[in-house]
Amino acid sequence: MKTNYELRYAAHPDDAKSYDTARLRKDFLIEKVFADNEVNMVYSMYDRMVVGGAKPVGEALHLEAIDPLKAPSFLHRRELGIYNVGQGDGIVRVGDKSFELKFKEALYLGAGDREVYFESKDAACPALFYFNSAVAHTTYPDKKITKADAVVAHMGSLEMSNERNINKMIVNQVLPTCQLQMGMTELATGSVWNTMPAHTHSRRMEAYFYFDIPEDQAVCHFMGPIDETRHIWMKGNQAVLSPEWSIHSAAATHNYTFIWGMGGENLDYGDQDFYKITDIK
């Protein structure tokens, strides 16, 4: 197996508005989330969030404590949220426990010195484990979460091209966490817009991971302050970092699913600063 990681430093909004396409993609887009028998991750200076993915093909992949953590194990001072976004079933082994994850099922792991391994049940149809991790100062119980456990908000309409189900899965209405909050939004056929009207939340950063989109289609992710927006074109199975000062919205050439993950000082999902669609520039 192979572990790859990189550091992403925080950017001031006044600086980011001068970035060209290449710089925007370099600082915010995570293009390579999955590769055979690799664990890939970005350690972000936005609330110290780690965003990554693992694709085990015929071998178990160890979630290593990368050097920036300065810790004996990845979970030493961290909590972890994991989704299986692959068609194949997967297994997450943590310490002496094992959790089986099917497509679109999630797992929360609390802080504590245990080793984590990712496995696919069938190498010919591997699982794809997408994960977010935040700093934790209390240990909460591990828990598997399915869509049946989620708090579901049905929002939007087909007429507005944004009919969607927001599945709140790793949130404080479902289970206790220190700061990590994650969920999965599924857009209905014929709908392409997410997170509209746009908003920011200065108390939390966010990461978006887009999937369930055909290989020949694309997602256009919008970011930046409401009066100075930028866009990043993305493919399926890619992620993007969203600073606390940035909106986070998208439209695509096909309906899709995305996973949102947040870290910061506030666990209140509704703590958002909304903007009128007509105020976006």
Q: What is the CATH number of the domain that holds 184?
A: 2.60.120.10
Q: How many CB atoms lie within 10 A of CB 58?
A: 12
Environment class of 201 (CB within 10 Å of its CB; exposed 0-12, middle 13-18, buried 19+): buried
Token pair 């087909």 in the structure block, residue: 158
pLDDT of residue 130: 98
Element of type H or E holding 207: strand 204-211
The pLDDT assigned to 3 comes to 97
Q: What is the largest CA-CA distance in the chain?
A: 53
| Counts of helices then strands in the chain (DSSP H, E) | 2, 23
Structural domains of the chain, count = 1
Q: What is the pLDDT of residue 201?
A: 87
The per-residue pLDDT for 161 is 96
pLDDT at 218: 98
pLDDT at 268: 74
Residue type, 125: C
Which pTM value belongs to this model?
Answer: 0.97
Host H or E run for residue 259 = strand 257-264
- Domain, as residue range, for 219: 2-279
Q: What is the pLDDT of residues 81-90, one digit of tens each?
A: 999 999 999 9
Which residues of the chain have a pLDDT value below 70?
Answer: none
Cα–Cα distances (Å) from 141 to 177, 178, 255, 260, 273, in that order, read 9, 11, 35, 21, 32
